[in-house]
């Protein structure tokens, strides 16, 4: 098919396929492999410090001379109140008991030991490192940050999970919208933490296409050429893939996590706040069943920071019952090939399907 369109031109790539910025899964090697395959790699910076962002960006630039995007979290950090302190201590005690019961040795941080980073610090690093494509999630950038990035010649890609969020992004001067369907793996890109939109991806894509004029990337449930072509029919000019790359050679997941993904069935995949305090789609396990629908879930990012120590201990122990394995709703046997081979196979299948 003719892959050239507004998004491929704006991003200066041959194929408007975007490797999803999966924080904790994607690596500089995955990002470089995607970009070197003439797609767009996405470097997940999450809520890292400015210094750590710079290090990761430089590491990626050593692996590719092609375009890649950087992705940041733009959530509001909740104020530390007396209520939060009390709930933090309660949740910490609960998790300590849960860990001991399951033979995991974990040293959980105290609230005052948690370091939270503002995305404004990241933007300084991004501009200093001369990154020209920035995607973001969990809300919208403030107007001052948008102006700073635009003055640096940066292309901005915002994430929406509803028509209203898409309109807000367009009116703010964002260049491209990534429409994230409820099927997508990992965290919801919703502006709000609670009462998130739960709209099916194809329905949302079609409605956003009718509501905005700027180009659209679609994310959520693309796992083969047919699903990609379906989203193209509904107006997507860019196609973001994540789950299909989780088993790749460049994925940060360990073999036991990749195996758990391959063994999963569609009913094993759920939305949960238990690990991070924000809704995310992943594989149900003992931790989720023990914590979900209890009082022991703090607001994001405090829950995420608190459970991080437990996830690290479980990962070291190769215990898939206490790690967060995010995945989309489209369950499929994951390829263990390289990121480049997986993307090239997808492109080839699309082209052959169009010809036939």
Domain spans of the chain?
1-77+116-248+334-356, 78-115+254-324
Mean pLDDT of 146-164: 98
pLDDT at 28: 98
Edge-to-edge, what's the strand order for the sheet holding 155-160? 17-19, 238-241, 216-219, 176-180, 155-160, 133-137, 68-73, 41-46
Q: Extract the runs of DSSP E, i.e. beta strands, from 128-229.
A: 133-137, 155-160, 176-180, 186-187, 216-219
Q: What is the pLDDT of residues 249-286, one digit of tens each?
A: 999 999 999 999 999 999 999 999 999 999 999 999 99
pLDDT at 1: 81
Q: What is the pLDDT of residues 202-249, one digit of tens each?
A: 999 999 999 999 999 999 999 999 999 999 999 999 999 999 999 999
As given in the structure block, the two tokens for residue 131 are 């990154």
Work out the number of other CB atoms within 10 angstroms of the CB of residue 271: 14
Pick the CATH number of 1-77+116-248+334-356 from 3.20.20.70, 3.30.1490.20, 1.10.1750.10, 3.30.70.600: 3.20.20.70
Distance CA 39, CA 345 (A): 13
Euclidean distance between the first and the last CA atom of the chain, given in angstroms as a whole number = 11
Distance CA 229, CA 1 (A): 10
Q: Rounded to an integer, what is the distance from CA 168 to the centroid of its chain?
A: 20
Q: Does residue 356 register a pLDDT over 80?
A: no
Could you tell me if 342 and 248 are in contact, meaning their C-beta atoms sit under 8 angstroms apart?
Answer: yes
Q: Rounded to an integer, what is the distance from CA 270 to the centroid of its chain?
A: 16
Sign of the Cα pseudo-torsion (232, 327, 343, 122, in order) = positive
Distance CA 183, CA 155 (A): 26
Going by their DSSP bridges, the two strands 280-283 and 269-272 should be labelled as antiparallel
The chain-wide mean pLDDT, for the chain, equals: 96
Q: Does residue 175 register a pLDDT over 90?
A: yes
Distance CA 21, CA 71 (A): 6
In DSSP notation, 56-83 reads HHHHHHTT-SS-EEEEEE-PPPPP--HH
In DSSP notation, 16-43 reads -EEE---TTT--HHHHHHHHHTTSBEEE
pLDDT at 281: 96
Q: Does residue 160 register a pLDDT over 60?
A: yes
Q: What is the pLDDT of residues 35-76, one digit of tens each?
A: 999 999 999 999 999 999 999 999 999 999 999 999 999 998
Q: What is the pLDDT of residues 2-32, one digit of tens each?
A: 999 999 999 999 999 999 999 999 999 999 9
Residue 180, classed as helix, strand or coil, is: strand
Which has more confidence, 14 or 332? 14
Count of residues making up the chain:
356
As given in the structure block, the two tokens for residue 223 are 């796992």
pLDDT more than 70, % of the chain: 99
Distance CA 260, CA 333 (A): 11
| pTM of this structure | 0.96
Q: What are phi and psi of 45, to 5 degrees?
A: -100, -15
Burial (CB count within 10 angstroms: exposed 0-12, middle 13-18, buried 19+), residue 42:
buried
pLDDT at 354: 63
pLDDT at 292: 95
Out of 171-180, 189-198, 312-321, pick the least confident. Answer: 189-198
Q: Does residue 355 register a pLDDT over 60?
A: no
Distance CA 17, CA 31 (A): 12
**Tokens 């709930």 — which residue?**
87
């Amino acid at each position: 098919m003719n892959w050239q369109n507004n998004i491929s031109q704006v991003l200066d790539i041959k194929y408007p396929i975007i490797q999803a910025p999966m924080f904790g899964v994607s690596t500089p090697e995955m990002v470089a492999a995607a970009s070197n395959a003439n797609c767009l790699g996405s470097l997940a910076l999450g809520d890292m410090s400015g210094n750590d962002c710079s290090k990761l960006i430089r590491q990626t630039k050593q692996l590719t001379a092609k375009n890649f995007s950087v992705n940041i979290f733009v959530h509001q950090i909740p104020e530390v109140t007396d209520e939060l302190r009390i709930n933090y201590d309660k949740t910490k005690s609960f998790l300590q008991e849960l860990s001991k019961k399951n033979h995991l040795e974990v040293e959980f941080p105290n609230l005052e030991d948690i370091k939270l980073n503002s995305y404004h610090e990241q933007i300084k690093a991004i501009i200093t490192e001369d990154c020209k494509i920035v995607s973001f999630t969990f809300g919208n950038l403030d107007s001052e940050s948008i102006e700073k990035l635009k003055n640096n010649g940066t292309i901005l890609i915002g994430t929406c999970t509803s028509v209203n969020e898409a309109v807000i992004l367009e009116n703010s001067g964002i260049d491209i919208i990534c429409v994230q369907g409820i099927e997508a793996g990992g965290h919801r890109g919703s502006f709000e933490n609670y009462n998130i939109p739960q709209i099916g991806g194809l329905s949302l894509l079609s409605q956003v296409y009718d509501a905005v004029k700027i180009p659209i990337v679609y994310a959520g449930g693309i796992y083969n050429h047919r699903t990609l072509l379906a989203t193209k029919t509904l107006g997507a000019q860019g196609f973001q893939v994540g789950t299909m790359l989780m088993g790749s050679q460049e994925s940060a997941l360990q073999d036991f996590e990749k195996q758990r993904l391959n063994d999963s069935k569609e009913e094993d995949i759920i939305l949960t706040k238990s690990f991070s305090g924000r809704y995310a789609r992943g594989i149900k396990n003992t931790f989720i069943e023990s914590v979900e629908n209890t009082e022991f879930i703090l607001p994001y990012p405090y829950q995420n920071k608190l459970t991080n120590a437990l996830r690290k201990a479980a990962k070291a122990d190769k215990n898939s019952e206490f790690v967060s394995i995010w995945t989309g709703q489209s369950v499929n046997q994951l390829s263990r090939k390289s990121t480049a081979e997986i993307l090239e196979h997808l492109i080839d299948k699309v082209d052959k399907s169009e010809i036939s």
